[in-house]
Structure 1
Amino acid sequence: MQSSSDLFPVALISAELRGDLTEDVYRLKPGNSPDPSVELVLTRLGRFGQEGGRGVPVILVHGSFSNRRFWYSPKGLGLGPYLARVGFDVWIAEMRGHGLSPRNQRYRRNCVADYARYDLPAIAAFVREQNGRVPHWVGHSLGGTTLAAALGGHYLGEENVASAALFGTQISRRYWPLKMPPVEWGGRLLLKRFDVISGSLLKRGPEDEPIGLVLESLRWHGLFGRFGDAERDWWAGLAEVRVPVLAVAAAGDLQDPVWACRKLAAQVPEAYRHFLRLAKDGGFSGDFGHVEMLVSKAAEREVWPLVAYWLEHRRLPIALKAPDSA
């Protein structure tokens, strides 16, 4: 692999003009994890004619059963193109085995611990090398959970995170049957027979997820489970975060409810945490859902400009400083 980086092998696999946007697609092979076959694809969006004046970098991390198209549609729509058009240097990550990122040899064992410990730091290092500035991060659902794990595990710090925005992100929702050891053990034995969970079969999205993620979640939600791995307590580590963190919850989100998203935000020190609830009674046009908070016409009008404001100012507009958004 011919390298476009001094850090590790990187290949520029395509460079295209998409209307008013430039699209550069890079394949990274960090070689920093126990599985040396891992390759990660990053899509960089910029404005045509402005290639020499890259703006502040922002990295977008998709959720479960998803890929780069959550942020960037084939028609050039989405939060990614919006941020590129208003001047940001946009990087869209695709996690192991998703979208353009090939499945690694140990794909079935992939988990948040690997994403947080190995993949996000490699992505951060490459973006910093290319742009020269510390990137902002935006994660949705599992992407936000991975960012929270990286922050709480101290795999990402101030040198690699200018701010982090977590949309629909929580790990506190209770699954009470899993608190019963026989249920957890039985579920684990059953799931180990599978390699993946199919997003299309479950009507959750276009991608599969490795069974390792599900088994990891069972550990988190078991009787003596915690948000962390064998070495580190990520939940406790969030109390030591020293970068601005925005947690965004949607009133109509049944998957990651507001109370649970708020609980995660509350774990971050008060001086660095910000919370926003997307709801009709909070001045928005409606009660947004889990996906609609970022992918909808209403999100384009009401949420995307707030994301740009956050990235520029690392705080919310004063008009939103209501009890639910403080």
Structure 2
Amino acid sequence: MKHQQSSLYLDMQQYQLHLRRLFPMQHGIAPVLMLHGAIENGRIFYSQSGKGLGCYLADNGFMVYCADFAGRGLSKPHVSQGFAQSQQQMITQDIPALIEHVYQQHQQPVIVIAHSWGGVVTAASLARFPALNAKVAAKVCFGSKRVISVQSLERKLKINLIWNTLAPWLSKKYGYFPARKWRFGADDEPQQFLQDTVRWIAGAAFTDLTDQFDYGHSSKTTEWPPVWHFAAQNDRLLGHPQDVKAFIAETAPQARFTLLAKANGYKQDYDHISMLTHPAAVADHFAELRDWLLQLRTE
């Protein structure tokens, strides 16, 4: 590895957000904040052995922060300890605080990279607080969709049965969604957060479920930073290319879109997870993203 790893905790009074710092050995180029999706944590971006997009960017000179959202990963307390959080709290409190913290540490705009649902809540946060965009150098999303429009057997099993029915039932039973115990995902979820996602995934308007703030309308007047969305050829449900395109259309229509497919010159037909974890990604789109981020700094 060409970087060092350490942890810090951002105090949010009633809870703490864990950030894994991946810093290059030499002088850093630019700060990067990485935000994970549902039923996962910041480890989707890094490993202690140096694998993952976060480690790759740190090895290439970027100052990387991989966040664990409240109640997940190494954030304290964990959701299994009685911690509760809504989606609105994530949008209005955690994401602004994370961006502000990284910005203040380096006094320069932050590159925000998100996976899956992390891209949705990040877009909502930037649409709700337009001033935040001045502190964001670029926004990059992997497999981010707000609505799942695909109708398939996989959807009936994973979304209709598990996410919409079984997960809420388990959440009432345990007080949170124990996704790890039931092997549905890499981390657990707060009950209210889970319930909040269900309506958006089903196609409800892009408005806040707590106070009805209209994220869709605000998106149209938001001065977005450069935005790049990646979708994967074999992502047939959780970030289907057509749903990624629909999310782009309702948030930042000018965004760049890339489909990770062999037909487009990539080494693999990636899927929702392998787009961030496959060894081939390093020489494939990881390198492409690195070059784009470096180019942005010279423009």
Give the direction of change, closer, same or farther, for the CA distance of 1:199–1:265 in structure 2 (3 Å limit).
same
The letter of the residue matching 1:266 is A
Pick from 60, 65, 69 the counterpart of residue 34 of structure 2: 60
Give the direction of change, closer, same or farther, for the CA distance of 1:175–1:260 in structure 2 (3 Å limit).
closer
Residue 160 of structure 2 is matched in structure 1 by none
Pick from 86, 91, 98 the counterpart of residue 111 of structure 1: 86
Distance 1:256 1:222 in 2: 14
Distance 2:221 2:15 in 1: 30
Pick from 213, 217, 222 the counterpart of residue 236 of structure 1: 217
Deviation at 1:146, TM superposition (A): 1.7
Query: Would you say 1:23 and 2:5 are equivalent positions?
Result: yes
Larger displacement relative to structure 2 (232-241 or 56-65): 232-241
Tell me how many residue pairs correspond in the alignment.
283
The letter of the residue matching 1:75 is S
Q: Who wins on radius of gyration, i.e. which is larger?
A: 1
Give the helix-richer structure, 1 or 2: 2
Give the direction of change, closer, same or farther, for the CA distance of 1:192–1:233 in structure 2 (3 Å limit).
farther
TM value normalised by structure 2: 0.84
Please list every run of 5 or more consecutive structure 2 residues that lacks an aligned counterpart in the other structure: 157-163
Residue 125 of structure 2 is matched in structure 1 by 150
Residue 96 of structure 1 is matched in structure 2 by 70
Distance 1:101 1:279 in 2: 35
Within-5 A mapping of 1:1-326:
20-30=2-12, 36-48=13-25, 50=26, 53-103=27-77, 109-154=84-129, 157-174=132-149, 192-221=172-201, 225-229=205-209, 230-242=211-223, 243-254=225-236, 255-270=238-253, 272-314=254-296
Deviation at 1:190, TM superposition (A): 7.8
TM value normalised by structure 1: 0.77
Distance 2:265 2:150 in 1: 32
Distance 1:175 1:275 in 2: 19
Deviation at 1:185, TM superposition (A): 11
% identical equivalent positions? 26
Deviation at 1:84, TM superposition (A): 0.9
The letter of the residue matching 1:208 is D
Deviation at 1:286, TM superposition (A): 2.6
Deviation at 1:94, TM superposition (A): 1.0
Deviation at 1:111, TM superposition (A): 2.8
SS in 2 for 1:164: strand
The letter of the residue matching 1:26 is L
Larger displacement relative to structure 2 (125-134 or 20-29): 20-29
Larger displacement relative to structure 2 (257-266 or 103-112): 103-112
